Structures are given as C-alpha cells and as structure tokens.
Structure 1
Amino acid sequence: MRGFSLNQATTKRWPLDELVAGCVEAGVEALGLWREEVSEYGTEKAAALVREAGLTVTSLCRGGFFQQPDWYDENRRAIDQAATLGTDTLVLVSGGLPDGSRDIDGARRHIGEAIGALVPDAQAAGVRLAIEPLHPMFCSDRCVVATLDQALDLAAPYPAAAVGVVIDTYHLWWDDKVWDGIARAGREDRLASFQLADWITPLPAGVLLGRGLPGTGSVDMRRFAHAVRETGFDGFVEVEVFNEEVWARPGADVLAEAIAGYEAAVA
C-alpha cells in the first residue's frame, strides 16, 4: 500500500485551505474530498489548491442516491466534479428505498440500471464509479447495498475499469463472508478504494456519527489490511470518520491520531 490518505469527513470542521496546509506540514500525500465542501469552496479553486500543494485526491464522495428523481443529472455533475479535481474515483452511496416503497429487490435492480446508464459518462471523463456497501442498518434510507457481494454483483455487468467497489471497515466488519468478498474483488480487479473507520459502542443517538478513529473500537483493522494487501491493491488507504467528538477537536490533532491508527493497521 502506497500510503495514507485523510478523508475530508474526518476533520469536517477544518476549512479546506487549512486542511491542505495541515496535510502538507504532516507529510501527508493524499486526501479524499466531499462534494458539499468542495462546492462551497469552489470546485476549480479547490482543484488548484490541491494541485499546487502536490496532493493526490484519492476519491470524491459522493454520487449515488439513485432513488432521487434527479439522480442522473446529479451524478453527471458529480462525475464532472471528480474529473475537475483530478481523482479517478467517485464513491457511490447508492440510496435507500423510494418514498413509500418496500421493494428492496426492485431498488437494487434500479441501482444496477442507473450505474449502467452512467458508465459511458464516467468512461469519457476517466472516472471510476465505486459502489460502497453500507451497514444493513442504513438500508431503508441511505443504501440498499449492504454486502460486498451485492456491490460486486451490481458491478459485474460493466468493465472493471469503469465500475469498482469500496471496502470500508466500518460497514463490513460484521460480515463473516467479507474475506471471500475481498478476495473476489481482487480477482475481478474491482477494488477501487479502501477506507478505515472503527466501530465504537455504545452508538450515539445519530448512528451515522458512530465511527471511531482506527484502533478505538471493535474492528480488526490488521486483518482487513492484510486481506486487502493480498489482492495486490497498492492504492492509498483513506481514514474516514464521522464523529461529533472527533470533529470538535483541532484538525492537526485528529490528523496525527488518524496517521497513528493507519500505521498500526497496515504495518
């Protein structure tokens, strides 16, 4: 694995220019970005900032939410934004059930069709669509893709260079079949992104914000890192954490702890 990448979500309240400066000062070579913060800062301006700092943008989050009526236009904008930022990976949080629906199988079929509709646009832009399976507790509203095998099955009809998958330890640590899924992702050349976040208990009231920095919870990070390394994956490894207590801390302190957690996981 080439090295560490700080996902912008981990230091959500660190302004982008300070985040970039902090990464440079710490010797960090890469970061993952989020569309909302990039759009607020200005996409072209953000692209120039990162480029002039010599940083690699490892991913842009997020596309997806295919249950929304404007999913195609919104994802086209996300693809264009990723290309402008110079990243080849657009993370897809595929979306939950449409309002009033209980048809989870139909929702998954629609996701596959939607991804297929976006493949030509992504290929033309040099951007890979990366399907991220989320923990099953998010199926109803955020992502009906809950396992790595489901993500790989959705990706399978399309070229591996155009559609891959994300392995996020927070979302997949519970699944005893994930190890076979990681090996499959390697065989099929689908592994687009690897993200570290820990599972902490008790979960906060807003479970979306229940992630911990690597090494603070229940996930066997080293086992994940070993399994991913065995596939031949040599990309950057992102630390991506959503946690109000983490966000309240100084960005430089969080970055230092994220680096230490990464080093302990992948050494």
Structure 2
Amino acid sequence: MRNLHGRLDLCSINTATLGHREPLSLTIDRIAKAGFGGIAPWRHEVESTDIAQIARQIKALGLTVTGYCRSAYLPAATRAQFTANVNANKAALRDAATLGARCFVMVVGGLPEGSRNLPAARAQVSDGIAQLLETARDWGVPLALEPLHPMYAADRAVLNTLAQALEICEAVDPECSGFLGVAIDAYHCWWDPELYASIEAAGRAGRMLAYHVCDWLRETRDLLLDRGMMGDGVIDLPGLRGSVERAGYEGLVEVEIFSKEHWWRRDPDEVLQVCAQRLQTVC
C-alpha cells in the first residue's frame, strides 16, 4: 500500500467537501494552495461558469481532475424522458473532456416517480450505459459507475453494490475497452459482505477508475448530509485502501464529504487542513 505521508499529490478533493459555498475558481485555488494533487468538480458549478477558463485554471495549477460529478439520473417514466436523460449525459461527457477528467461519475438514479418496478429501473440503467459508452469513447472519458448504499435505491441509485456495477460493465463492455469501470466510495460500499471479492474482480478486469473516502458515523443524523471526516467513524479505511491498491488501483485518493451541519460550517482552509492530516494518518 502506498504511503500517503508527505504525498498530498496522491490525494484529491471533491468540491462537495467544501460545501459549494464559494465560486469554483476560488475553490480550485484553495485546493491547489493546500498542496493536493487533484480536484473533482460538480456539474452545477462548472456549467454556471466559463468551462474553458476553468479548464485552463485547473491545468495551470497542475491539478488532476480525478472525476467529473455527476451524471443525470437515467431511469424515467417515459421513453422521451429517458432519451432526454441520456442526451444530458452525452453533453456532460463533452464538458468532462474539456476539463480533462479521468472519468465521468455515474450516479445512475432511483425509481421513476410513481414506480415500484425496481428490475425495470435497473434495466433502463443498463440500456442507458450502453448508449453512453460510444460517446465516452468519442470524448475519451471513461464512465465510472458508482454504486450507492441501498438506502438510496428509491431516489438516487438502483445500483447498490460493486458486484452489480461489474455485472453491467461485463454485459455492456465485455471486451474491457477501458471506457467503462467503477468508482469505489467507502461510504457506500463499506458494509457489503462481498466487497473485497468484488474489489479483486474489479482489479482483474482493470475497471477501477476512482476511489473516494470519508467515514460512516456511528450515530449518523442525516443519511445524505452527515458523512464523517476520515477517522471519525467506523470504516476500516486503511484496510479498504490496501485492498483497492493491491487489486491494482494507482489513481488518486479522493475525499468526498457531505456534512451540512458540521464540516460545511467550518472555514474551508481548515477543512482542507484536516483532510490533509487525516489522509496522511488514518487512511
């Protein structure tokens, strides 16, 4: 396992960690000044700015765009809406390419409004990924399927385990083209009894595109907006990263924390300092 001590160049900050409280250009400067090697911006930040200028700023500061967050949800109640969702993701892939992103993070979406048909929603996800794969190849940006914790199956992601994500990868991209893989997020996957076997499988297939860290608080107060800082919860982060890296992952370690009532209320530079310290000591 790589030693992160003194190696913040191997670490990335997802801009959600700072709560989207400031203009993206300022956030980029803060992350670079703090010594991190990478950044993962969100679409709503990027799309409200001059994308080309943001790309130039990131490149000038020597930052790697570890991922572009995130996809439009795929499942829909009508075929027309499904097609619109796919097209929205095709447009986002163009922007990801402009930014030089290493991957486009796919949070695939939950059940369409009024639906109870989970298999149908998952089938739409597979269909949508298949339609996006050619666009991903055209723009040179891999799709990273990110399974979310099952508590989000209704509203955010019907893709809930790493094994499910790999099944879609194998079905849609059996030749392992390099443009379809997975994002492994500690918050969403730590509980999975098949996690380590799935990590090994992802490694054998060469499909690990991103690795995200935070922590699961024992007394989580909000299942969306109360993630913990690394070391404050129950996840075996060194064990998880060791497994990911033994399986062949060589990318950056990305911090992604949603914390409305705690970390998003703290000074951004202080948050970055704590992230740096925890990455080097408990991850």
Q: How does 1:91-102 map to 2 (within 5 A)?
A: 91-102=105-116
Which residue in 2 is equivalent to 1:44?
Answer: 52
Report the more deviating stretch, 70-79 or 119-128. 70-79
Which residue in 2 is equivalent to 1:240?
Answer: 256
- CA deviation vs aligned residue, 1:182-232 (integer Å, no higher than 9, x gap): 11100011101000011113222x421021111111111011110011012
Which residue in 2 is equivalent to 1:74?
Answer: 88
* CA drift at 1:175: 0.9
Query: What is the rounded CA distance, in whole Å, between the counterparts of 2:156 and 2:177 in structure 1?
Result: 24
CA, structure 1 residues 160+192, in 2 after alignment: closer, same or farther (shift >3 Å)? farther
Query: What is the rounded CA distance, in whole Å, between the counterparts of 1:96 and 1:160 in structure 2?
Result: 27
Structure with the bigger percentage of strand: 1
Which residue in 2 is equivalent to 1:106?
Answer: 120
Query: What is the rounded CA distance, in whole Å, between the counterparts of 1:104 and 1:261 in structure 2?
Result: 38
- Residue identity in the other structure for 2:91: R
Which residue in 2 is equivalent to 1:222?
Answer: 238
Gaps of 5+ in 2: 3-8
Q: 1:200 aligns with which of 184, 198, 217?
A: 217
Q: 1:136 aligns with which of 137, 150, 154?
A: 150
TM-score, length-normalised on structure 1?
0.95
Does the 8 A contact of 1:195 with 1:240 survive in 2? yes
Which residue in 2 is equivalent to 1:60?
Answer: 68
Percent identity, please.
Answer: 36
* CA drift at 1:160: 4.3
What secondary structure does 1:238 align onto?
A: strand
Report the more deviating stretch, 156-165 or 138-147. 156-165
* CA drift at 1:113: 1.1
- Residue identity in the other structure for 1:109: A
Residue 264 (1) aligns with residue 271 (2): no
Query: What is the rounded CA distance, in whole Å, between the counterparts of 1:17 and 1:35 in structure 2?
Result: 14
Which residue in 2 is equivalent to 1:250?
Answer: 267
* CA drift at 1:27: 1.6
TM-score, length-normalised on structure 2?
0.90
- CA deviation vs aligned residue, 1:125-154 (integer Å, no higher than 9, x gap): 001000000000000010000111001101
* CA drift at 1:41: 2.6
* CA drift at 1:16: 1.9
* CA drift at 1:64: 4.0
Q: How does 1:181-192 map to 2 (within 5 A)?
A: 181-192=198-209
What secondary structure does 1:88 align onto?
A: coil
How many pairs does the alignment contain?
Answer: 265
